């Protein structure tokens, strides 16, 4: 089953990259390079080291924002899921954060915190934290009541029910929410570089577009997508290892 999944992913990538190459050769637009041209530009940036310098800047707000979002989001989500009073207080805030157009909020963040690292970290947190909080709260809130009743029948304290029943039962969904939040954080990191100050990978994208170096622009975009996919696949493997019993596969398997 794992081999078949791997082969299907390879086939999917071949189809996408093949369609990209064909679209570039037609061409769909003069500003749309072929896959081979984009990969040539990416390897050129790898060999001259410019892509690594760019990622050294991009990963700073991303790492800080994800760390803050993961720790604070899970704690707040547990809090909201365990208390109806705090759910009424905090849930609307994070629902609005998730629904609000981030591009409209960026000028406000720039006015409040400037164009430095702080604003970019806030953008990552605004993208990632609502997903983590709401998934965590939903997982805790929907813990089967019969499991909690069984714990009480064995005279478990409220603390034992939270630590030994609710959190373990909710952990798979919490981890899935964390994975989705990190995915949103990647989007926030690039968006902050495009909208606040052009640094890191965002600088490569902006500069390449300004001089019509479209292969380099698409190469930079492809690199951030590739990094996000690799990182999320790593998290998925960790999730499957930690919660192996919850991985039930597909009907067609």
Q: Using pLDDT thresholds of 50, 70 and 90, give the confidence band for residue 42.
A: very high
pLDDT tens track for 119-175: 888 888 888 888 898 888 888 888 877 777 787 777 777 787 887 888 888 888 888
Could you state, in order of their start, the residue ranges of all structural domains in the chain?
A: 48-244
Between 28 and 15, where is the model more confident?
Answer: 15
Per-residue burial over 161-170, b if 16 or more Cβ lie within 10 Å, else e, is: bbeebbbebb
Write the CB contacts of 250 (distance below 8 Å, at least 6 apart in sequence): none
- Tell me the pLDDT band of 4, cut-offs 50, 70 and 90: low
Classify domain 48-244 by CATH number: 1.10.3720.10
Whole-number pLDDT of residue 251: 41
The HSE-up count of residue 112 (CA atoms within 13 Å, CB side) is 10
Give the pLDDT score at 81.
84
Spatial distance between the Cα atoms of 47 and 25, rounded to a whole number of angstroms: 26
57-84: pLDDT as tens digits: 888 888 999 999 999 988 888 888 887 7
Inter-residue contact 62 to 83 (CB < 8 Å)? no
């Amino acid at each position: 089953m794992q081999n078949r999944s791997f082969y299907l992913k390879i086939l999917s990538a071949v189809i996408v990259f093949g369609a990209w190459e064909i679209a570039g050769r037609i061409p769909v637009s003069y500003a749309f390079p072929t896959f081979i041209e984009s990969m040539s530009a990416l390897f050129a940036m790898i060999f001259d080291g410019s892509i690594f310098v760019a990622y050294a800047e991009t990963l700073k707000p991303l790492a800080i924002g994800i760390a803050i979002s993961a720790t604070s989001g899970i704690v707040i989500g547990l809090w909201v899921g365990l208390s109806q009073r705090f759910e009424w207080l905090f849930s609307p805030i994070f629902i609005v954060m998730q629904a609000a157009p981030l591009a409209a909020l960026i000028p406000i963040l720039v006015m409040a915190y400037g164009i430095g690292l702080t604003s970019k970290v806030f953008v990552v947190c605004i993208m990632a934290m609502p997903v983590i909080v709401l998934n965590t709260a939903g997982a805790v809130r929907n813990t089967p009541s019969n499991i909690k009743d069984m714990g009480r029948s064995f005279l478990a304290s409220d603390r034992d029910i939270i630590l030994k029943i609710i959190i373990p039962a909710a952990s798979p969904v919490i981890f899935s929410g964390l994975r989705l939040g990190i995915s949103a954080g990647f989007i926030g990191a690039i968006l902050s570089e495009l909208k606040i100050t052009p640094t890191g990978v965002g600088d490569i994208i902006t500069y390449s577009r300004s001089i019509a170096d479209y292969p380099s622009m698409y190469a930079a975009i492809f690199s951030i997508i590739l990094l996000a996919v690799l990182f999320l696949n790593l998290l998925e493997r960790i999730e499957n290892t930690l919660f192996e019993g919850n991985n039930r596969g597909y009907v067609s398997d």
